[in-house]
Chain A
Amino acid sequence: MQLLPTRLVNAGPIEALGRMQADLALRQKELSTGRKADAGLEAGSEIRRNIALNSSLNEIEAFQRQNGTVSARLGGAQLALGSIAEAAANFLSNGIPAREAQNARFLMGQAAGNALTDMNRLLNTKVGGFPVFGGQNLDANPMKDFNSAEGAPAKAAIDAAFQNQFGFLPDNAQAANLNAADLKTFFDGPFSALFDGPNWGTLWSNASPSAMKAEISPGVTAETSSTSHSQGLRDLAKGYVALSYFSDKTVSDPAFKGLIDASLGSTSVARSGLTYEQAKLGLAEERISTANTRLGDMETVFSRSLNDLEATDPFDVAARINTLLTGIEASYAMTARLQRLSLINFL
């Protein structure tokens, strides 16, 4: 029988050693990262699924981050609208008895002025520096301040409309001759027109008519801000402005009462409009919370299947490392003993 060549005998354990050491390096990497050392090599074209899952997870994370800020915005808008609606209700409930009071003109003018200021302030609410009622215009306050220089064009427009209707300005002495019906006609006609259509955007509001839209979960788009263009706000502003502007003009007290009636009427119409806006915002909030639930579910499912493909079982890896270490030690011992094992040593 022929003896095995010495070179092969000695090389045996060394060759195994090389393979085991390379394997050990990979397993150690797996142990520290918790992921397969070269998932692509193992999965082949299946890795495509991983890539898709990874981008979906990134996407979900971005949606979740975005929906967080959007919820805060919508919440802020909802709070502001709530306060405005409450103020409108107060204005109505105080206005009906005050109408009969001696100083109705002063009281109501004052109340309307305050309500208008409050409403403007609330509509200019910013959540994280973001004007929530601005629609798609984020560069300016959504509402122009009627009582400052910003309001000058609006005042001029009211004066012009008045002049056009009656032939003189509101602070002209002749205005005292107007009766309640005249003012009611003016309120419902030219004055209302100042709050309608594009006039709202030029005289009162800086917001754009349409709210911002964004995807809140894959394929689902929702309005993610509000706008001060809604009809309820217009009606409300109309009533407030009429009383606060004309209270110190030369119109007679009985005629002003006609204006109070028109204003209260407009306010009560506005309330249903506000309720509609609140419901719309509530709906958007609801959609976002549904979307978040869906995103959370997707995240769970996706990361679970991702783990199936890429993660390693730490116990399994640890066990394999142990086996490898034992093998390597055995191979060291064998190399040393084989070196001693030669016929020469016995001659």
Chain B
Amino acid sequence: MSLSGVLNTARFALDSAAAQTALVSRNIAGADDASYSRKIVESRAYSTEYGSPQIRRAENPALFARATEARSESASAGIIKDGLTRIRSLFGGDDRENAPSTLISTMQTALRTAASDPSDRVLAGRALDAASALANSIRNNAAAISGQRNDIEARLGQEADKLNTSLASFESLNNKIVGGTRLGQDTTDLRDQRDEVLRNISNVIGVKAFARTDNDIVLQTDSGVLMFETRARPISFQPNSPLQAGQLGGRFMVDGVAVAGQNAVMPTSSGIVHGLIKLRDGATVEAEAKLDETARMLISAFREKDKTTGGTKPDIAGLFAADGLASLPPNGVRVPGIAQRLTIAASVDPAKGGNLNLLRDGGIGAPGDPAYRSNLSNLSGFTAQLNQLAQATDQFMPVDAGVGLGTSRSVSDFSASAFGALEEERRSASDRAEFSSIVLERSTKSLASETGVSLDAEMARLLELERSYSASAKIMTVVSSMYDALFSAVR
């Protein structure tokens, strides 16, 4: 090898060191960026052919796929848990002070106390207040759950928009990457950005990525519907609003295929969309059904009968009634939306011009009709009616089997079971959320430990580069002095 060849190699080494130093500083700049992956230069120090150094990034497709999947899982589990927590919070804190079960017990106690002195209007008023608080709480909670369902419906529309935007930017990044790769440009930073967009998409809906040549990527939902292939496919959501009680919401479509909602053809199983739809068509519908059934059972438990011997008048609603309810709802059949209309009868409520004494005398549903009245001789200490009211919530009665809490329960037992079912659901949702968030944390960590930047490693690399740079410089000095010696000998 000639001296000029040595000089050439040294010069190439200097170039390489400069390029690598630039990369070290790029890595250091990205050390705190979660989406940045460590860049590595493919050194061609011994290649005689001069060319720009090839840069690649630290990556692990398998770990990335697992982290993506875990992110979708965690997003859906988190949404479900938050939704259930929101439903649970309607019923009060640790004392469950706003839960039907608690308020039923309070009302029962108040009625019993009123029965100990039926002439005491203060005690009767307290019992009526307790009944009124129960009706109000059920009505307001049912309205809040209905509101929550409609919020979800609105949010699904926003998520569809977000997904369309994300897919559009994915498309433009993917185009640049494929084009750049074909031209042999450095596309590593673009690919980091595209991974970041993919991360956002996986948060919204379960997604699988397939790599093709030239760093091209194809996206499918976790159920196999094409979301992106060279160009973005349209995402749409047709809301069913306002949602009525018990009504299922609209469907979420990817490229014209229903991936979530009723009768979804290829249902997705993770992501925010999945969580929202599970809440909208699952937990909230169940909570609504339980409140409806509690309301209907209350109306039924406090029903009033024709008390005349051989009387044939139909049973009518008593202390509890529902707005717009013409006759008593049939036994053991849920009436969707009745919880939102539950009230106490105006005829017994002094605030609405009613007569509080009807609580003691009976005939709340038809104050003018003596057939429904119990206290016919108008005794101020009449106990039979109040005793009967105090026991009403403990009487077994038919329950709609569709609600999933048996077919024959008392109202107080039913409401307690309904609350228990909610807590059970919340517990398992919370467990799932915790588990999936740990999986997400683990998989993101193991991915990051492979692709992230260690400042120490970069500094050590910098030291190395410094050494090799001065070594190359030294070689040039030595070659230069050799040339000097040669030229002085020639002269």
A-side interface residues toward B, CB under 8 Å?
A: 2-9, 15, 33, 35-48, 51-52, 54-55, 58-59, 61-63, 65-66, 69-70, 130, 134-139, 208, 212-215, 221, 224-225, 342-344, 347
Contact = CB atoms under 8 A, between A and B. Distances in A.
B372 interface: no
B413 interface: yes
Interface in B236-285: none
A317 to B, nearest CB: 15
30 contacts: A3-B456, A3-B457, A4-B454, A5-B38, A5-B451, A6-B454, A7-B31, A7-B34, A15-B441, A40-B94, A41-B426, A44-B424, A45-B423, A52-B413, A58-B105, A59-B108, A59-B109, A69-B116, A69-B117, A134-B381, A136-B381, A137-B379, A137-B380, A138-B118, A208-B377, A213-B384, A215-B390, A225-B381, A343-B456, A347-B459
A138 B119 contact: yes
A177 to B, nearest CB: 44
Nearest to B418: A48
Contacts of A3: 454, 456-457
B460 A343 contact: yes
B419 A51 contact: yes
Interface string B4-17: 00000000000000
B416 A52 contact: yes
Contacts of B99: 51
Which of B117, B427, B452 has the most A CB atoms < 10 Å from its CB? Answer: B117
Nearest to A43: B423
Given A8-B448, A58-B105, A213-B387, A136 B380 contact: yes
A55 B96 contact: no
A58 B109 contact: yes
B331 to A, nearest CB: 24
A20 to B, nearest CB: 15
Contact of B452 (A5, A15, A62): A5
B454 A214 contact: no
Contacts of B430: 41
Interface of B: 31-32, 34, 38, 88, 94, 96, 99, 101-102, 104-106, 108-109, 112-113, 115-119, 377, 379-384, 387, 390-391, 412-413, 416-417, 419-421, 423-424, 426-428, 430, 441, 445, 448-457, 459-460, 463
A8 B112 contact: no
Which of A5, A58, A212, A213 has the most B CB atoms < 10 Å from its CB? Answer: A5
A6 B106 CA distance: 58
Contacts of A212: 118, 381, 383
A45 B426 contact: no
A65 B113 contact: yes
A9 to B, nearest CB: 8
Contact of A46 (B112, B381, B390, B420): B420
Nearest to A53: B416
Contacts of A38: 94
Given A138-B119, A344-B455, A45 B381 contact: no
Nearest to A227: B381
B421 A342 contact: no
